[in-house]
Structure 1
């Protein structure tokens, strides 16, 4: 059984390219071939098309195919077959100014209502939108069934320890809900690679004693720093999402220290997160590679679902969840 703490919905991942931030060209070139593979293309076919057409046009064709492949019924069937008990919906609020209103959580709220005990809603916050954004987060948590908050500092252009985030941290501390924070490399050409360094999580952890943070994407390439933080701060957790599991387990990829300590001192701090939609890998293939990791059986159980079950207060027991998954229509 798995609880996936880092993901979204296909309709959010494969949005119309016309609505994508024009600064995301590097991301589209990086992840486009992976998404094209999910749509049935080869990488070679993808790059051949990019040579002939604009990246925007090519991605429109990819998205159109993915919209068919990942309709909700098909999507739920994929999760069921992979034994995903809960799947995250990160409803991000992007942007570096207040020119647009806070992200709408209504669509996700309806999905949470329509498919109970299937998704974990993460409410997006944007520090540039101030009190209005904070209000939407509070409503999402207290009225709309969301269980967590999500922020991508590199998208906002400010570090996680910026005081603009502090009202949000205070709210999460007050309500006892975890917050997922992007804590790894970013590929924005005009944004510092160090903006999402794990050390930026230290001040919030020190200033808010009950604040629970999930360091998203494992802290790579700063794994030693990430491990030091995990060893020191009780309320810090980590996932390894958005990186192909096979490479995480390989020596000399920068993950060696994570794999060593995951079996020992940080085994209660690790949670499963895949971002399989971003990776462009079917979820069952991601899980096969994760299950091959050299972790003890007891640690795998904690990593796959037990730690997240406790963190999100889901109250699940393995036999009961297995029954629910098999009986889901």
Structure 2
């Protein structure tokens, strides 16, 4: 039994954009070849297409094919085959413009309702949209079945310790709702690589005693700082999503300290998360690589589902694990 704490729906991951934002160029270069492989293209074919067609045309073609191959029914079958009990839907509210309305949370709410005990809804908040965004998040967690909130500081251009996020932190503290916060490298042009440094989580963890934060993407490349935070703050959790598991387990990739402490002092605060759609890696292959990690069996069980089960109050028991 596995609970995936960082992901989305295929239709959100593979969205056409005929006028891609220049700041996203780094992400297209990084993830484009990976998405191409999910669609059955080779990396060489992907780059060959880019030499004869515009990036927007190639990406539109690619995403159309991916959305067909990863329809919701096929997607759900993939999750079942890989023993994914709960799968996250990060319903991000992107951007640095407060003039746009908050991201729609009703559509994901319908998915959650239609497929009970299958998805964990993460409500997106945008500090530039202020009270209106806060209202949407409040409705999501009190009326629509969402169990968490998601923040990408690099997308907002606002560090996690900025007071613009504090109304949200207070809301989540009050309702005992965890927040997933991007805490790793970003590839946006003209955005500091340090905007998502794990140290930016310290102020909210200190100021809100019951606030629970999941540091998304493991804090890489600042793993020692991430471990120090985990050792100090008991309400801080971490995942390793968006990185191939085989590289996390390899020496000298920067993850050595994480692998060491995962088996001991931070074993209660590690949660499984993949972002396999972004990685362009089938979930079954992702899990196969995780299985090679040198984790104790008791720790692996906590990592796969027990810690997340407690964090999100899912009510799963050992009998569920055996049944699945």
Interval of TM-score (by shorter of Structure 1 and Structure 2) = over 0.9
Alpha-carbon deviation of 1:51? 1.1
Instruction: Find out whether 1:284 has 2:276 as its counterpart.
Output: no
Distance 1:86 1:193 in 2: 31
CA-based RMSD of the aligned residues comes to: 1.0
- CA distance, structure 2, for counterparts of residue 89 and residue 218 of structure 1: 19
SS in 1 for 2:149: strand
Match of 2:226 in 1: 226
CA–CA distance in 2 between the matches of 1:227 and 1:32?
31
8 Å contact kept, 2:221–2:254: yes
Secondary structure, aligned partner of 1:193: coil
Structure 1: state its 5+ residue gaps. none
Q: How many residues align?
A: 324
Give the TM-score normalised by the residue count of structure 2. 0.98
1:42 corresponds in structure 2 to 42
Task: Give the superposition deviation at 1:19.
Answer: 6.5
How big is the shift at 1:318? 3.9
- Corresponding position of 2:91: 91
Equivalences for residues 166-205 of structure 1 within 5 A: 166-205=166-205
The answer for the alignment partner of 1:73 in structure 2 is 73
Q: What is the CA distance between 1:322 and its match in structure 2?
A: 5.7
Task: Provide Cα deviations, 1:227-282, integer angstroms capped at 9, x if missing partner.
Answer: 00000001000000000000000000000000000000000010000000000000
CA contact (8 A) 1:8 1:89 kept: yes
Q: Is the 1:85–1:321 Cα contact (8 Å) retained in structure 2?
A: no
**C-alpha separation in 1, matches of 2:125 and 2:12:** 16
| Secondary structure, counterpart of 1:89 in structure 2 | strand
TM-score (norm 1): 0.97
Cα distance in 2 for residues equivalent to 1:301 and 1:12: 30
Structure 1 residues 45 and 135 mapped into 2: Cα distance closer, same or farther (>3 Å)? Answer: same
**1:15-54 matches, cutoff 5 A:** 15-18=15-18, 20-54=20-54
Hey, which bits of structure 1, 4+ residues long, moved more than 3 A?
Answer: 19-22
Using the alignment, how far apart are the partners of 1:186 and 1:320 within structure 2? 37
Aligned to 2:5: 5
CA contact (8 A) 2:20 2:56 kept: no
